Amino acid sequence: MSEAVATGFEPVRIGIVSVSDRASTGVYEDKGLPALKDWLGAALLNPLHFEARLIPDERPLIAATLRELVDDARCDLVLTTGGTGPAPRDVTPDATRDIADREMPGFGEQMRQISLRFVPTALLSRQTAVIRGKALILNLPGQPKSIAETLEGLRSPEGEVLVSGIFAAVPYCIDLIGGPYLETRDERIKAFRPKSAIRPRPTA
């Protein structure tokens, strides 16, 4: 029996890419890929297949990796971490735009709004998102704590949503570009869809 039949939810292929010169050469342990995998596994009810890549800050290689994940590995969603600042070697957004069909700047704007709650240097971030084919590609920050904050948003001690995380908009975006129907765990992040776009949840 397939995972989709067993759970009632559509399977999703997700590319996760950590961009770091030092982590890719073993100078220190990469923490971006585990952080992405852990958060997505906790947030989504769908059966997930991950395609993970750890690569250096080389613009042609980043672009080729994103192209391969979408065109060959058939990922529905790709998340990168690292390389989004203003330093000369921070070229992840540039490589992402190189392979884009369309840019989705609202995701980057919201990520900066979340990070500005903590540090004024959030303005230096160049995070963005793009669509290639039927896949959404998101550039995330490099630190595991910041990854979770930008995806999930910020809550008060009482649990009230103070700033919405970007992942609330991801499932409907993927609906609109022809991808699978993503189901989130509401206690982690509640996906927003218009009423007309909401499907009944599987009961099995």
For residue 158, the model assigns a pLDDT of: 82
Arithmetic mean of pLDDT over the chain:
93
- Confidence at 7, pLDDT banded by 50, 70, 90: low
Which residues have CB under 8 Å from 183's CB, separation 6+?
9, 44, 45, 46, 171, 191, 201
Question: pLDDT at residue 203 above 80?
Answer: no
The CATH classification number of 9-197 equals 3.40.980.10
Name residue, tokens 């672009």: 63
- Confidence at 204, pLDDT banded by 50, 70, 90: low
For residue 160, the model assigns a pLDDT of: 82
Per-residue model confidence as pLDDT tens digits over 175-198:
999 999 999 999 899 999 999 999
How far is C-alpha 72 from the geometric centre of its chain's CA atoms?
Answer: 19
Per-residue model confidence as pLDDT tens digits over 82-137:
999 999 999 999 999 999 999 999 999 999 999 999 999 999 999 999 999 999 99
Per-residue model confidence as pLDDT tens digits over 12-25:
999 999 999 888 88
For residue 178, the model assigns a pLDDT of: 97
